[in-house]
Every structure is written in structure tokens, then in C-alpha cells.
Chain A
Amino acid sequence: MSHATPTSTRMSPADRGASATLPPMFTLTWWMPFAVFVPAYLLRLFSVELVRGPVEDMYMHVQNAFYYPATGLMGPDNWWTSPAKHFALRVAIALFGNDIVGWRLMSVILGALSVVVAALVARRLFRSVFPALATAALLALDPLGIAFSRTTFEDTTAVFVLLVAVLLWLRAMEEGRALDWVLCGVALGVATAFRTYAVIPLAIMLVATSVSKRRDDIARLALALTSLTLVAFCAYFVWWLPWFSRGYSLEEWLTLQSDALAVQGANFAGFNPALRRLVDPQGWLFSWVSLALHRSVAGREVVTMVTSDPFVWALFLPGVAYLLFRAINGRRVEWLFVGLSFLALYGFFALSPRPILLYSALVIVPFGCLALSFAADSLPGRWKWGLLSIATLWGLYLYPLAAGIAVPLQPYAWLLGRVASIGLGS
């Protein structure tokens, strides 16, 4: 690794740090992850049992947590989703209890840990304290992340494992340790076993590794590529063994994979006719992800809303564009990976015909926050801290919605008028 040159004083902190070792004040100390984790955890934990509304699939998640490890039965949960979540929830129930808090606590913890890991990714990527801090603040207050960290949906776990994989990949790319490559492959396989969309960053990582390490020792390259393919496959495949115990063969497994992929890419309007009222998913390409469910309870209209942060969401695309520009200019393959992962995941979901994008969007947010934090770091000091302050205040304003705390409609009426809504009757 080369050291900073005198000309680097005109470069942004990210660029300066990219070619230099970190100054001591930015070196990770033992308390920093805790300082990030505690507020993120408390924001997700507060009244975690509160929402029991129709947005939840937790009853079928819990039933499958018992069925799948014991019998390999893929239902009543959606059979086209990957099965690692059933094991994870079963472990969570064993650790935290078989009640609504116990079912959700794993998501609370891993959702908060995702904030820590994303901050570590930002620090390693951009070698500057501001992007790490900004990424942590944006993700800690992200309403989509908070909402899903209070459910039993597997996306929170998938995103956490994927971020761990990204961190390991960055370390492996930089330091070349064999263990990092192998663990990165395992994490990618596990992330894919939680949500199939993790295969998109995996593919980008594979190409990025092949290109940037092509002049390395062939044996090292072989280890890297083996980890990202064969090791990842093993870590993906192992979760299906209970399904095989129902008498299935490898040929039938391949058909299942193909059918699951077809269903995941199909138009889900038949899933629930009410979803036809939602806006076209392409509408979310330049708008923020949100959904409001209207119900009438005892004569009162109750609205359950899940929304991303409109302010931060609007800044994602400019942030990614700036990151990609700098990545191409500076030939930084790791930065390119972040920008391309955002675009590939976003494009995949926005252009697919299925109208349910809420939980899929969760995986996009960390990549968007990384890009936005990097772009903000290039602003003059007052501006970037101002931007971060506004984003933080905005996140606090949205927090009651994210946490499902009952609030008067008036301060949020403008937002409710702009989100995709469906009625569920009484």
C-alpha cells in the first residue's frame, strides 16, 4: 500500500484515505461498534410487540420454523423462498422464547448489527470517518429498516449476512487472507439461502474479483473464485437437506429452483387482488418505496404504513451516480461494486412485474446509504454536516411511523396522500 503524497491535500477525505493508512483518531476502538449498536438497537426494540397488523406473515413464519427443520415441509410459508430462515427463526425461538417478542428479537438484533457492519464497510471502503458515521446514522434511522427489524421477515437477516460478506470481501481484496475469502463465500451462500436476490451482489463481486485480481498469482485467484462459487454454493445448498428427506432427488431440486425463480419473477397480482391497486413497480424507480394498508377497526380508520425515507431515497440516485463517476475515474473496483450492486438490485426489482417491492427494497438501502455518505463527504464541511443533521431530524420525524406507534394523522397527512394504498376492509 502506498502512502499519501503532498498533492493529496486537494483531494477529498475519501481519496486521501484511500491511499493512506488511517490516522489514529479514526482507528477502530472497542467502544465504537457499541456506540453505533446501542441506539440502533433501542430504536428497533422500543415497543417491539406493538404492531400485529395485516402486514405481518409471522404466523406462517413461526409455523414453518417448527415444521421445516423437523420435516422439510416448505409450507405454509411461501414455498418459493429459500429455507435458511426457518432454521434461523427456530434458533431465535429457542433463545428468546416462543412469543411475539421472541419471534422478532432476532430481527431487532441483526437489524441493529447491520448498522454496525455497514459503518465498518463504509470505513474500510472510503477510509474516512464521515461516511462511516453518516452511513450509521442514515441506516439507524431508516424507517424501512426499522419496520422490518420489528418483523419476522427474513430480509433483515439476509441484509445483515450480505453486509458481513461485503466486509469480508473488502478485507480479502485488500489483505488477501485465505480465511477471509472462504468466510466471504460462506456468508454469500448463506445470504442467498435467506433471499435469492443476494446472488446479484455475488455475481458482481465475482466479476470484480476476476477483473481486479487477474494479474495475481493463479493459485490465489483460484482460491478467491472457488470461495465465491463452490464454497458459496455449499453454504446455499446445505439448508435444503431437510427438503430432500421428503424423498426428493437432485433432479427434483433443480426443478424446484427453476419453478421458484419463475414464481418470484411472476406478477404477484394474483396473490391478492387488492395489490392490483398498487402503482406500477416502475413508478418506484424514481419514487420512494412505501405501502399503506387501510382497515376499519371498530368504526375507526386505521392505517398501517411501511415507508422508506423519501428525503434520503431521493438522494440515492445522485449519490450512486457520483460514486460511480469517482469509481471509474479512480479505477476503484470496490466503489464500483457498491454502485453497481445498488443499480443491479434496484433495476431488477423495479423492472420485474411483481408489485411487492417493500421487503426487497431493504437490501438496496445500505448500498444507497454508502453511496450517499461518500457523496456527502465531498461537500464542504458545513454542508455535509448540515445534510446529515437534516437527514437525522427527518428520520426522527418518521420514526413513529416506522415503529408503528399510533400518531395523529395531521403531521403525516401529506405523506399518506402520496404513498401507494390498498384497503383491507374491516
Chain B
Amino acid sequence: MLSRFAKKWWLAPLVATILVAALLAAAQFIGMSSRSYLPEQQAATVRGPGEAYQSLRQAGLHGRIVVILDKQTDIVPRLYDREFMASLAASGTSAPFQPLNLASGLIETGIARTVYFVPPPSLRAAISQRLGSRWDAKTEPSGFSVRFNGAPVHVVLGDLNPSDFGEKVVVYANRDVLTDYDASLLTSLESTAVSDVLVIQDTP
């Protein structure tokens, strides 16, 4: 059979091109069909990141863009700290192995595929300085991006245009710092056209 095929070697590029196209289409299909959205916008008030994580998990979300409006500056875990590596060795093999913060927990469990962290304007300079010295931080027009376990974490230090997402996003915001942001940004993120999940952290 192979020798019969060998006589038609000129078909090889065609067959291989079809194979490549099929593989790429399959990958794209797997990616798109792995995303889950809510039919209607839901809003929830939580007392902390742990409760927010549980709330998003129970909603059955997967493969989403998550926008975080908060003041925490360790949004990207420092993966290579020795203590952290030692904790990995001791933690066994069940995911999530180390819920360092909300972003890493959401990425590890597959709820978030991409995170946009938007710090309040008052913290931008400090965060910019910290990320500017990171060896793996990539400079972007609106700030920096780093990857955690392969997932992009964009740290937005400039303007965020919600219409650029191209899909509905999950918004997590800390009420303590909301007054620091531009009101038009909050209004657009609350829009049902932009987000299908709104989680507000309300410190008790």
C-alpha cells in the first residue's frame, strides 16, 4: 500500500496541508468550545478572594478572561522563591497546589485563561518599578505582561478599553479601591455587553 502511495509522491504536500489545516481547526475548536459563559449577567458580593474563587467555580466558568480591579501588588506569584519551591515538593500532586492569590488560583483551575490586573492609579508607579526589574516581564503599550503557568497576566498601567476584549469577561473588583478608578471604566465594565459575571469584594 505504501509503495502504491510512493508512486504518488506529488500528493504529499496536498495531504500534509490538509492534515495541518485539520489539526489547526481541531485545536481552535477545542479552545473555543472549552470556554463557558453565563447566559445572563450575574453579580455577587463576597468577603474575600477565597469566597470569590468558590463563587466563580460554582458558576461553572472555564477558559475566561478575568479582569481584576484591586490593590494587591503581588498579583503575579514569585514562582522561583525557594520557600515556594519547597512547598511544591511537600504539597503532593492534587491541583490547585498552591493558591497564592486569586489570579493564580483561577489560572491553575482553568477558570481564567488570561488575567488583566488593573491597579488603582496611585499604585501604578510602584508596580511599574517592580515589574520593570523582572527578567520575564514583557513591556506592552498599556503596561506589562508576565505569564503564570503559561497563562498571560496583563498588568494594565494605562488606559483599558473594555471593547478590545472581543468577548464577555469576568470582573472582580475590590470595593475599597473602586473610588480610585475612572468612573467611565467602571460603568463600561459593568455593562452587560462587556461582562457576564461581576464579583465585588466587600470587606466586612
Please report A residues at the B interface, Cβ cutoff 8 Å: 59-60, 62-63, 66-67, 71-76, 79-80, 177-179, 217-220, 222-223, 225-227, 230-231, 233-234, 237-238, 240-241, 243-250, 252-253, 255-256, 259, 262-263, 266-272
Contact = CB atoms under 8 A, between A and B. Distances in A.
B26 A256 contact: no
16 contacts: A60-B85, A63-B97, A73-B95, A73-B110, A73-B149, A76-B97, A178-B9, A219-B12, A222-B9, A226-B12, A230-B19, A237-B27, A240-B27, A244-B28, A248-B31, A272-B80
Interface stretch (B40-48, B115-123, B131-139): B131-139
B23 A227 contact: no
B134 A270 contact: yes
Nearest to A238: B23
Contacts of B12: 178, 219, 222-223, 226-227
B150 A247 contact: no
B27 A244 contact: yes
A230 B13 contact: yes
B95 A249 contact: no
Interface in B2-58: 2, 5-6, 8-10, 12-13, 16-17, 19-20, 23-24, 26-28, 30-32, 34-35
Contact residues on B (Cβ < 8 Å of other chain), bracket: 35 or more
| A72, A218, A231 — most chain B CB neighbours (10 Å) | A72
Given A226-B16, A230-B20, A234-B19, A262 B138 contact: yes
Contacts of A63: 88, 93, 97
Most buried by A among B19, B31, B35, B79: B31
B124 interface: no
B10 A66 contact: no
Which of A62, A63, A227, A240 gathers most chain B CB within 10 Å?
A63
Contact of B147 (A218, A250, A259): A259
Contact of B150 (A223, A245, A256): A256
B34 A73 contact: no
**A62, A263, A268: which has the most chain B beta carbons within 10 Å?**
A263
Given A67-B95, A179-B2, A245 B149 contact: no
A263 B85 CA distance: 20
A79 B64 contact: no
Nearest to A83: B150
B143 to A, nearest CB: 15
A192 B30 CA distance: 23
A66 B95 CA distance: 10
A59 B30 CA distance: 29
A74 B152 CA distance: 12
Nearest to A240: B27
B20 A62 contact: no
A230 B12 CA distance: 10
A66 B30 CA distance: 20
Contacts of A217: 9
A71 B152 contact: no
A246 B133 CA distance: 30
A233 B21 CA distance: 11
A73 B9 CA distance: 39
A295 B2 CA distance: 58
